[in-house]
Each structure stands twice: as C-alpha cells, then as structure tokens.
Amino acid sequence: MKRFLHFTALALSVSAIALSVPSFGPPMQAVPAPMLLSQNVKFKPPDVDAPDNRQSATHRGNACPKDLFIVPLIPKSNDGLTLAESPTFLAYVSHSSTQVEFRLQADDGKGIDAYKTTFKVDKPGIIEVSIPNKGDGKKSLEVNQRYQWSFSVACNDDPSGNYFVKGFVKRIEPEETLKKDLANAEPMARAIAYAKNNIWYDTIGTLAQMRRRAPNDASLRAEWKQLLQSQKLESVADQPLVQSF
C-alpha cells in the first residue's frame, strides 16, 4: 500500500512539473498572404478610339533588320492616363546597339516637340524613358492635354522609311478620393490605387521602380507579369528591365 501511495505521489509531482514549465516559443500565428495587385484590382483602360500600333509599326525601308521590333508597354487601347507632370514610358527593344529616338508632341496637329531624345540600347530588354521637368514653373505635361509619343529607329536615309511605334498619354488631375488613397501610401498601395483608377503610366511606372529596387522579389515579378498579360503583353512579360534614360 505504501509503495502504491509512493508511486501515485511521484506521478502527481511529475504532472505538476510538466504543467508548470513555461512555453519559450511565441504563439503560432497565421502568415498573411502577400498583397498582390491582381488580387485587389483589375486594370481597365479608358474607352477611347485609337489605333493599336503596339506591335505593328511602319517598316517601309529594307535597311532595318527584319527581326528588329519595339513593343511599347501600353494598354490595349493604345491610350493611357497619368497624374505625373513628368511620366515614364516603357518599351521592349529586341536589338542591342540600336539607336532609338523618343519624341513627345501635343496631340494638336502642330507637330511641335514637347520633348525629344536619342539614346543607344546596349542590350535587348525593357527600357524606360522619363520626361524631365522643365523647371522655371513650366509643366512638362499640361493637365487635360493629350499627347502623342513615339519610339523610332532610323534605318534609312529617308525618314519615312524608319521603324516606329506610337501611343498616347493624357495627364489628368486626381479626384479627392484618389488623393486620399495616395497620401502617405507605400509603393504597392500606390500601384493598387493607380490601377483601380485606370492610371496606366503611373501603375506600371511604380511597379517598374519597385522591380528595380528588388529584382529578385518573386511576388513583384508575378505582379508585373499578370499586369502585362492583362493587356495582351505576355510576349514581353518576362523580359528584364535593362536601361533607363
């Protein structure tokens, strides 16, 4: 009987010790899923009547390489919005050592360049062209003004035989709701807000900036790819960002 009581007391002591041992590990918490642009918004370009010149370009001469092509990263409508005074334009260039000209003109029929630059592409990939701020209180892009831009490659003595693609951009003022969404927002939240409001150039420009800062981020690559696929740009969705001008 005494032996039985001894074992019973021993068992109770062990149980008490086990219950009193503190837990040194933190409580398990659910890991939140990454906030992806495609899970929050669906980009819908403005309904405008513009020809689709994204992947088809004037190629009249025979001096341009047959496998040379430029794919501008713009919506299917060929027309996009921006809030920025000095937006960024992106395009895929298939050839290295290619001299490319970028031009921006007000879509008013006057043919006056608001900005023009020429640069050399060192390797195939996606390039970025940023419009500089004019300074002295002058606006690079005026609010509610539509502009036509173009990327071109001079392959012939006759400019009419050059290879080019073109598109359109219009700068608008943000509504009050969008202003509040953008105030003090992190880059991904800004991209989401831009896309939700159909602001193409600022959506893709923000994502491009994020990708440059974190080129190995898989979630950003997936986000970028899904955005381009939504506008039928899957052919260049996996191409690297190579140069900025």
Domain annotation covers residue 24: no
For the chain, what is the domain count? 1
pLDDT score recorded for residue 25: 40
The larger pLDDT score, comparing residue 142 to residue 26, is at 142
Domain annotation covers residue 56: yes
pLDDT score recorded for residue 9: 44
Residue 41 confidence (pLDDT) above 80: no
Domain annotation covers residue 160: yes
Range of the domain at 171: 43-244
Domain annotation covers residue 23: no
β-strands 163-171, 146-153 pairing: antiparallel
Task: Say how far apart CA 202 and CA 115 lie, in whole Å.
Answer: 19
Give mean pLDDT, residues 138-144: 83
pLDDT score recorded for residue 64: 73
Domain annotation covers residue 188: yes
The larger pLDDT score, comparing residue 191 to residue 27, is at 191
Looking at residue 162, its amino acid is: N
